[in-house]
Amino acid sequence: MPQRHRCSRTRRSARIGLGLTTVLAVGSACVSTGAAPVVVTDLGAPARLDEVTVQRFEYPTHGSPDPDQNWADLYLPAGEQRVDSIPLAVLIHGGAWQDQIGADSFDPLARKLASRGMAVYNIEYRRVGSGGGWPTTFHDVASALDHVVEVDKRFPQITTDDELVVGHSAGAQLAVWGGTRHLLDDDEVGAKPAFRPTRVVSIAGPLDMVYAATHGDERIVTAMGGTPSEVSGRYAKVDPIQNIDPGTPVVAMHGARDVTVAPENSQRYVDAVTRAGGKAKMIMFNDEDHVSLVSGDSRAYPRVLEIIRHVSAADLHETTA
């Protein structure tokens, strides 16, 4: 697997410069909320985990957080837990921004990626029907992303300087938006990110929200609280195709048989990024639909996993190769 170059950070050089390997690890494979991790300090032998391990974090967010929804699970792979050695992938689940589907739907994907040597941060957020929608959902996702900085303090084996965010369906829109929050004006929802993903994988995402909303996608209209003509300013702040950063490469996967989010949504976005001088790649799966791309029993699933791993590991300029 190709290795990408990562910049050195003050925290890394300070610890390694002392000749001391300090690693935080949890000692159980079950999810533990609020439990203090075990601190392992050893001059020669980094901590090891025998299996994929999960730790839950509750993150602060705008207004009054809901502990049942404002949380994220960190999955750590088995093996040595050296400081700054495990690449992080953030997962954002879909479900039409509505509360029928939650982050638990991404648990199998998170475990598969962790079994391939990646750390995975799987976030939950408030959705339509459980206190979400505009602007709460976007505040929550931004807050969950920014909480990676705090997670890194407790689990310094993860890397956070050049990381990947992956989203499916509505989560893909949130993922691409999350990768371009640094472009927002200071008074906009999600502005001034403390943690910025540098590369994005979109799976079946409505990356042209105005196009989707004006072609029959009422779920977007519900989540945004109005049509593009009624609340155009809201769409302008979070619609991926209206917030392109040519420096943030995006790989967009889509099933040709997707009747929930038309493949044109991905293709229009990729074309727009290319016109803007950025790097984006469309990968079409001819025999797949909206859900099968993230279903463990589909023929495409192993390739989806490999694409995610490639985008995470590649040098930034090679992510769309």
* Peptide linkage before 135 cis (omega within 30 of 0): yes
pTM for this prediction = 0.87
Model confidence pLDDT, tens digit, residues 24-80 = 433 333 344 333 343 333 434 558 899 999 999 999 999 999 999 999 999 999 999
Phi, psi (rounded to 5 degrees) for 91:
-110, 135
Residue 317 has pLDDT above 90, yes or no: no
Within-domain flag for 236: yes
Domain CATH code at residue 123: 3.40.50.1820
- The reply to whether 2 falls in a domain is no
Residue 197 sits in which domain range?
Answer: 10-318
Residue-wise pLDDT for 224-248, tens only, equals 999 999 999 999 999 999 999 999 9
CB atoms near residue 149 (< 10 Å): 12
Closest CA to 97 of 141, 156, 143, 153: 141
What's the number of domains the chain is made of?
Answer: 1
Task: Give the integer Cα–Cα distance in Å for 234 and 247.
Answer: 23
Q: Is residue 153 part of a domain?
A: yes
Residue 300 forms part of a structural domain:
yes
Q: What is the pLDDT of residue 321?
A: 78
- Give the Å distances, CA to CA, from 13 to 18, 80, 83, 176: 8, 19, 10, 31
